[in-house]
């Protein structure tokens, strides 16, 4: 299929802008899986509404971030991954559209969050990035705190009481790439030279910092008590702080894989009970194919299916991880999947930003056979 120059221009900026829905269906059914930051569906003339069922069926083969233009109601089956806007602004360039889409997406899902950067004595802010003195804590809910400066001289977290508070979460970590990013943004704010690229970076950092991720994997669970591990900006913590506790401060929750197998009912109650007024408890649920198979074998097909459906209801996106090729459950249900080697390395040695980029890069294979047409 020949791509128009306009479509190529949008795609070069990470946007699939769909005006002709028939073309999207043909591409997906031919095996093409759009791998862009945004899928924009133009429904101002109602042309998408007849395809909602098809979209729901192929939802995991499409980009995570779907923007629907028009005043229609978005079906519940895709509300977890879509944002509706009535109109687009004048599209002066793909760059300006990209900024608009990121703004709408982050405001809709993570509008209550802001990143607080502890950096010297600097106090300045711009669009959800707030620079505060290095020894202070923001007394607000949903603060994502990042320590800009190295903490090698502050053993045990001296001057940083963030860990003791359940209301505050660290942003990502304190490794040098992010220090460079925040230095760049901080200098741009000070010199009033913020541009579109800076703003997109800010939105992406907020999303990566705010997402909540639940991990069900017995191999990761075995590592939960590890204390002396590298990376992750942990030098400000005392030596008795575990991997599990550090990840919890970053909104990543290692689920009890032993309890899942020994008492599946109790595990569901403890890990997937509602904690607030949100329908979803987690943004991502990443579950190991092998552990799920062990649970099903022990409790039986019917009981497993009931619990598995309950688990899936509490996560916006479900991902299967495996170390042996394409997982059967991912193929059966059209789910995204990830190799354990990539997941494990990122979780045990990497930063949350790396994990966010890994998960948001995943795409399921398009479902075949005319399902959901």
| CATH classification number, 211-360, choose in 3.30.2320, 1.10.1060, 3.30.390, 3.40.50 | 3.40.50
Same fold, 5-104 and 211-360: yes
Closest CA to 147 of 243, 62, 316, 137: 137
pLDDT score recorded for residue 5: 63
pLDDT score recorded for residue 166: 43
pLDDT score recorded for residue 178: 76
Tell me which residues of the chain have a pLDDT lower than 50: 1-3, 151-167, 233-234, 277, 370-373
Q: Which residue has the tokens 């929750």?
A: 253
Q: Where are the domains of the chain?
A: 5-104, 114-209, 211-360
Burial grade of 121 (CB within 10 A; 0-12, 13-18, 19 or more): exposed
Burial grade of 40 (CB within 10 A; 0-12, 13-18, 19 or more): buried
pLDDT score recorded for residue 155: 39
pLDDT score recorded for residue 212: 93
CB 28 within 8 A of CB 369: no
pTM of the predicted model as reported, rounded to 2 decimal places: 0.88
pLDDT score recorded for residue 175: 57
The enclosing H or E element of 196 equals helix 196-210
Partnered with residue 170 across adjacent β-strands are 145
pLDDT score recorded for residue 1: 40
Helix (H, G, I), strand (E, B) or coil at 218: helix
CATH domain 5-104 topology: Rossmann fold (3.40.50)
pLDDT score recorded for residue 48: 85
CB 337 within 8 A of CB 321: yes
């Amino acid at each position: 299929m020949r791509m128009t120059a306009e479509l190529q221009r949008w795609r070069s900026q990470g946007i699939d802008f769909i005006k002709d829905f028939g073309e999207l269906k043909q591409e997906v059914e031919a095996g093409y899986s759009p791998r862009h930051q945004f899928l924009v569906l133009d429904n101002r003339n109602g042309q998408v509404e007849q395809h909602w069922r098809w979209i729901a069926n192929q939802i995991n083969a499409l980009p995570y971030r779907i923007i629907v233009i028009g005043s229609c109601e978005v079906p519940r089956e895709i509300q977890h991954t879509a944002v509706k806007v009535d109109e687009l602004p004048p599209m002066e360039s793909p760059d300006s559209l990209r900024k608009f889409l990121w703004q709408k997406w982050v405001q809709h899902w993570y509008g209550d969050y802001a990143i607080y950067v502890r950096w010297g004595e600097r106090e300045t802010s711009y669009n959800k990035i707030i620079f505060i003195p290095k020894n202070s804590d923001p007394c607000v809910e949903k603060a994502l705190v990042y320590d800009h400066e190295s903490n090698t001289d502050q053993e045990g977290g001296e001057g940083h009481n963030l860990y003791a508070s359940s209301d505050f979460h660290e942003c990502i970590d304190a490794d040098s790439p992010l220090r460079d990013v925040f230095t760049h943004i901080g200098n741009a704010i000070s010199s009033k030279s913020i541009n579109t690229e800076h703003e997109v970076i800010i939105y992406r950092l907020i999303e990566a910092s705010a997402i909540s991720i639940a991990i069900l994997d017995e191999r990761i669970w075995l590592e939960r008590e590890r204390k002396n591990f590298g990376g992750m900006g942990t030098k400000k913590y005392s030596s008795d702080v575990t991997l599990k506790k550090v990840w919890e401060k970053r909104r990543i929750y290692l689920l009890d894989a032993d309890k899942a197998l020994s008492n599946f009912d109790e595990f569901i109650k403890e890990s997937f009970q509602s904690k607030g007024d949100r329908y979803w408890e987690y943004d991502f649920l990443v579950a190991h194919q092998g552990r799920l198979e062990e649970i099903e074998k022990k409790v039986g097909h019917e009981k497993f299916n009931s619990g598995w459906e309950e688990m899936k209801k509490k996560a916006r996106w479900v991902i299967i991880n495996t170390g042996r090729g394409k997982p059967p459950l991912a193929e059966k249900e059209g789910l995204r999947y990830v190799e354990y080697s990539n997941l494990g390395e990122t979780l045990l040695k990497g930063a949350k930003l790396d994990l966010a980029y890994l998960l948001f890069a995943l795409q399921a294979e398009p479902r075949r056979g005319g399902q959901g047409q």
